[in-house]
C-alpha cells in the first residue's frame, strides 16, 4: 500500500540555501530534507554562477521555454528588438553538442580570429548533455542528465576526428568503466512488478523481459503477477521453439516483421492477450522515446524483446552487445571539452584525464574579449537574412535584443525553425514540422548512504508499470579523473531513474501520442516526480533499511520534452524517395542561415550532431 506524502518525507521544511540567479530556493518551491546543507565543494555555495549543482526541475527547466512557446503556441512576434551593437562572423542558435561543434568547425574553416556568439536558452551549455553534480552528501557525486553514450562503432571519420581532437580515447574510457547500465554491475538485473499496476508486488531477481532472461525461463515468468490465464500464456510463450514461416527467405521474413506491430505479431503467433502485452509496453522507454505498442515486430525484437524463438532462432538468446562508452556525467564531459577548446580561460589545464572533476568558471563564458562567447538564458526568437548577413533577435531578462552576423547556424530542433524563420519555403517548413521530438526523462536521486542498496543486491531495476522504466545505481565509472565513481566508494550514492511519460491510449497517431506525452511532462510539478521516485524507493529498498524520509538528500528531474530526434519507423512513416526525406528537405541552407542539429540526420546520437555541424559549416562557404 502506498504511503502518504508525509510518510514519504515530502513537504519537509527548507533548511538549506541555494541560489539561482539571485533567487532563493524557497521562492521557487524546491526543498530538501531537514538538516541537509550544501557541500563545501559546491561552487554555488561559494556564491558563483554554477548551474550543474541546481536541483529540482532541470533539463527543460522553468523559464527556458517560455519565449519559444510564446512564438510557437501563441503566435507572438518579436520583430522589434533593441540593437546591442554587436556584430559577429557567426551566431549559433543552440549551445548543445551540435552548436558547440559548429563553432569549432567554423573556426577551422574561417579562421581562429572569427568572432562567434552562441545563444542558449537554458541556464547551462550542453543541451541534452546535461551535467548533474551533487555535493549535499559531502564529496561530489556525478550523474547524467541526458545524452550519455558514445556509440563509437558507428562514428564516421569526421566524428572520430572530433573525438581525437578532444583527446577522447575509447579504449582508455572502457578500461575505467564497469557500469554499462548496471547490467554488468554488482547485483543481478531485477524486475519489479508493483501492485498499483499489476496484481501484487513481486521482485524477480536474475530476470528481465529481455529475450536473454525471458526465454526458456518458465519458473520466473510464472511468477509475473497477472491473471492465471495471462500467466499461462506468458509461460507458454517463454518455452515456444518453432518456426512459423519456414518456407520464407530471410528478406521476406524481415518484410513481414516490419509490416506488423510487435503486439499484433505476439497476438497472432504466440497467443498473448492485452494483459500479457502490457507487461512489455514500457521496455523501450528511455531507449526509443516511445512505447513498444508503437513498434513493429522487427523493431521491438531488435532492441532485445523476445520473439525470435518463433522464427527458428531457438530459446537460447545471445547476449545483447551494445558497444559504447560514457563519462561519469554522460556526454556533458564532451560538451565541457568542446567549451574548453572554444574558451580556454573557462577551465585552464582541463584535459580528458581530468574533465569530469575540473572546475569551470561560468563567468568566462560571455566576456567581450572572447573570440567565442556563450550567452546562456538567451532564447532566439527571430532569425532573418539581411543584405549583408543575418540578424538574430533573442529574448533575455525580459528584453528583446538584436545582434548581427555574417552567418547563422540553427543548432536547435527543427519544429521551432518555421517560427524563427517564417520566410523559409513552405515545403521546408512543412518538413521541419514533420519531425516531432520524442520525450526523455532522467531523474537523479542522491541518497545519504548506499548500505541499503548493497543489502538489496540490485544494480539495475526494471519497472514495467512505473513512470521510470529503469532505475540504475550510478557507480562503476571513473573516467575523466572521477575517482569517487568507483563501485566501492563509501558514502552518498546516486540512483538514476530513466524513462518517459507513457503516451495516452486511444486512436492516435504516433506523433499525436508523443505530443500528448510532452504536454503531460511539462504539466507535471516537481512534487509529482518526487512522489513517484520516493514511492519506488520505499517499496523496493525500504525493506532493506532505506528510510525514505531521511535518506533522500536531493532530487533532480531532467525533463526533455524535446528530447530524442524523431527517426523513421516501420509502421508510422511512408517510404520517401532519396533526397526527399523530411530531414533532408528540412535542413537545407537558407541564404546565410544553415541548419545543424540531430534532427538534420533524423538520428538521436552525438555523432549525428557532430556530423551535421561539419556539414552546415561547409555549406556556409558559398553563402
Q: Would you list the DSSP string of 104-164?
A: HHHHHHH-TT--EEEE-SSSSSBTTS-EEEE-TTSS-EEEE-S---B-GGG--HHHHHHHH
Q: Where are the alpha helices (DSSP H) in 441-597?
A: 451-456, 510-523, 526-536, 582-586
What is the tens place of the pLDDT at every residue in 52-61?
Answer: 999 999 999 9
317: confidence class by pLDDT, cuts 50, 70, 90? low
Quick one: pLDDT at residue 300? 97
Is residue 45 domain-resident? no
Residue 37 confidence (pLDDT) above 60: no
Quick one: pLDDT at residue 181? 67
User: pTM of the predicted model, to two decimals?
Assistant: 0.93
Residue 24 confidence (pLDDT) above 60: no
Q: Do 221 and 286 reside in the same domain of the chain?
A: yes
Is residue 273 domain-resident? yes
446: confidence class by pLDDT, cuts 50, 70, 90? very high
| Range(s) of the domain holding residue 395 | 66-125+365-431+568-622
Is residue 6 domain-resident? no
Quick one: pLDDT at residue 187? 62
Is residue 47 domain-resident? no
What is the tens place of the pLDDT at every residue in 530-572?
Answer: 999 999 999 999 999 999 999 999 999 999 999 999 999 999 9
- Per-residue pLDDT, averaged over 130-156, amounts to 93
Is residue 392 domain-resident? yes
Domain's final residue, options 273, 295, 310: 310
d(CA 428, CA 417): 10
- CATH number of the structural domain spanning residue 374: 3.50.50.60
Contact, 441 vs 533, CB < 8 A? no
Which residue spans within 194-240 are E strands per DSSP?
202-205
Quick one: pLDDT at residue 321? 66
Residue 70 confidence (pLDDT) above 50: yes
Is residue 303 domain-resident? yes
28: confidence class by pLDDT, cuts 50, 70, 90? very low
Is residue 247 domain-resident? yes
Quick one: pLDDT at residue 422? 96
Quick one: pLDDT at residue 32? 35
- Cell numbers for 503, please give them: 503516451
Other beta carbons within 10 angstroms of residue 380's beta carbon come to 26
What is the tens place of the pLDDT at every residue in 252-279?
Answer: 999 999 999 999 999 999 999 999 999 9
Domain's final residue, options 265, 284, 310: 310
Is residue 38 domain-resident? no
Give backbone dihedrals phi and psi of 91, rounded to 5 degrees, phi first.
Answer: -115, 125
Domain count, the chain: 2
- Per-residue pLDDT, averaged over 388-416, amounts to 97
3-state secondary structure of 431: helix
The mean pLDDT of the chain is 91
Give backbone dihedrals phi and psi of 578, rounded to 5 degrees, phi first.
Answer: -55, 130
Q: Scanning the structure block, which residue is given the C-alpha cell 561519469?
A: 328
Quick one: pLDDT at residue 320? 60
382: confidence class by pLDDT, cuts 50, 70, 90? very high
Contacts of 6 (CB under 8 A, 6+ apart): none
Q: Do 378 and 293 reside in the same domain of the chain?
A: no
Domain's final residue, options 310, 332, 355: 310
Q: Scanning the structure block, which residue is given the C-alpha cell 513493429?
A: 296
Other beta carbons within 10 angstroms of residue 170's beta carbon come to 16
Quick one: pLDDT at residue 19? 29
Pairing of strands 438-447, 552-564: antiparallel
Q: Do 384 and 301 reside in the same domain of the chain?
A: no
Q: What percent of the chain has pLDDT over 90?
A: 81
281: confidence class by pLDDT, cuts 50, 70, 90? very high
Amino acid at each position: 500500500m502506498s504511503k502518504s506524502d508525509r510518510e514519504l518525507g515530502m513537504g519537509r521544511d527548507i533548511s538549506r540555501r541555494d541560489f539561482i540567479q539571485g533567487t532563493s530556493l524557497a521562492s521557487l518551491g524546491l526543498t530538501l530534507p531537514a538538516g541537509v546543507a550544501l557541500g563545501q565543494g559546491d561552487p554555488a555555495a561559494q556564491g558563483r554562477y554554477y548551474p550543474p549543482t541546481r536541483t529540482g526541475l532541470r533539463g527543460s527547466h522553468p523559464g527556458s521555454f517560455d519565449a519559444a512557446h510564446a512564438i510557437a503556441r501563441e503566435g507572438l512576434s518579436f520583430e522589434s528588438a533593441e540593437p546591442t551593437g554587436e556584430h559577429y562572423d557567426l551566431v549559433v542558435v543552440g549551445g548543445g553538442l551540435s552548436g558547440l561543434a559548429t563553432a569549432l568547425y567554423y573556426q577551422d574553416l574561417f579562421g581562429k580570429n572569427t568572432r562567434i556568439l552562441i545563444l542558449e536558452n537554458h541556464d547551462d551549455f550542453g543541451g541534452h548533455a546535461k551535467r548533474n553534480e551533487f555535493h549535499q552528501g559531502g564529496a561530489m557525486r556525478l550523474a547524467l542528465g541526458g545524452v550519455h553514450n558514445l556509440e563509437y562503432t558507428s562514428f564516421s571519420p569526421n566524428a572520430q576526428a572530433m573525438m581525437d581532437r578532444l583527446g577522447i580515447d575509447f579504449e582508455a574510457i572502457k578500461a575505467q568503466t564497469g557500469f554499462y547500465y548496471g547490467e554488468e554491475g554488482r547485483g543481478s538485473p531485477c524486475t519489479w512488478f508493483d501492485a498499483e499496476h499489476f496484481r501484487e508486488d513481486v521482485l524477480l531477481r536474475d530476470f528481465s523481459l529481455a529475450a536473454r532472461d525471458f526465454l526458456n525461463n518458465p519458473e520466473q515468468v510464472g511468477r509475473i503477477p497477472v491473471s492465471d490465464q495471462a500467466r499461462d500464456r506468458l509461460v507458454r510463450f517463454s518455452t515456444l521453439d518453432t518456426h512459423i514461416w519456414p518456407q520464407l527467405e530471410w528478406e521476406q521474413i524481415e518484410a513481414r516483421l516490419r509490416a506488423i506491430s510487435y503486439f499484433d505479431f505476439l497476438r497472432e503467433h504466440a497467443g498473448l492477450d492485452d494483459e500479457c502485452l502490457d507487461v512489455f509496453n514500457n521496455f523501450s522507454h528511455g531507449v526509443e522515446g516511445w512505447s513498444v505498442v508503437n513498434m513493429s515486430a522487427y523493431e521491438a525484437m531488435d532492441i532485445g524483446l523476445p520473439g525470435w524463438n518463433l522464427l527458428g532462432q531457438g530459446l537460447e538468446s545471445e547476449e545483447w552487445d551494445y558497444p559504447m562508452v560514457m563519462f561519469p556525467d554522460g556526454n556533458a564531459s564532451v560538451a565541457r571539452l568542446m567549451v574548453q577548446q572554444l574558451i580556454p580561460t573557462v577551465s585552464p589545464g582541463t584535459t580528458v584525464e581530468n574533465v569530469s572533476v575540473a572546475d569551470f568558471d561560468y563567468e568566462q563564458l560571455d566576456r567581450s574579449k572572447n573570440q567565442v562567447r556563450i550567452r546562456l538564458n538567451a532564447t532566439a526568437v527571430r532569425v532573418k537574412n539581411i543584405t549583408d548577413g543575418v540578424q538574430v533577435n533573442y529574448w533575455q531578462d525580459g528584453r528583446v535584443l538584436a545582434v548581427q552576423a555574417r552567418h547563422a547556424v540553427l543548432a536547435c530542433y527543427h519544429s521551432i525553425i518555421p517560427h524563427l524563420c517564417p520566410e523559409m519555403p513552405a515545403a521546408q517548413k512543412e518538413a521541419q514540422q514533420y519531425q516531432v521530438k520524442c520525450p526523455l526523462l532522467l531523474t537523479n536521486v542522491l541518497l545519504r548512504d548506499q548500505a541499503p542498496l548493497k543489502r538489496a543486491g540490485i544494480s539495475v531495476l526494471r519497472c514495467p508499470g512505473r513512470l521510470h522504466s529503469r532505475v540504475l545505481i550510478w557507480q562503476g565509472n571513473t573516467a575523466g579523473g572521477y575517482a569517487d565513481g568507483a563501485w566501492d566508494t563509501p558514502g552518498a550514492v546516486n540512483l538514476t531513474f530513466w524513462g518517459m511519460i507513457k503516451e495516452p491510449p486511444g486512436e492516435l497517431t504516433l506523433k499525436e501520442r508523443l505530443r500528448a506525452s510532452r504536454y503531460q511532462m511539462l504539466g507535471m510539478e516537481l512534487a509529482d516526480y518526487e512522489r513517484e521516485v520516493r514511492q519506488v524507493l520505499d517499496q523496493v529498498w525500504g525493506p532493506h533499511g532505506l528510510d525514505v524520509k531521511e535518506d533522500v538528500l536531493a532530487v533532480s528531474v531532467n525533463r526533455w520534452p524535446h528530447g530524442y530526434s524523431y527517426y523513421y519507423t516501420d509502421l508510422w512513416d511512408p517510404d520517401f524517395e532519396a533526397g526527399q526525406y523530411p530531414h533532408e528537405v528540412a535542413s537545407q541552407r537558407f541564404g546565410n542561415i544553415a541548419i545543424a542539429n540531430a534532427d538534420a540526420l533524423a538520428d538521436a546520437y552525438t555523432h549525428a550532431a557532430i556530423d551535421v555541424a561539419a556539414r552546415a559549416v561547409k555549406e556556409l562557404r558559398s553563402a
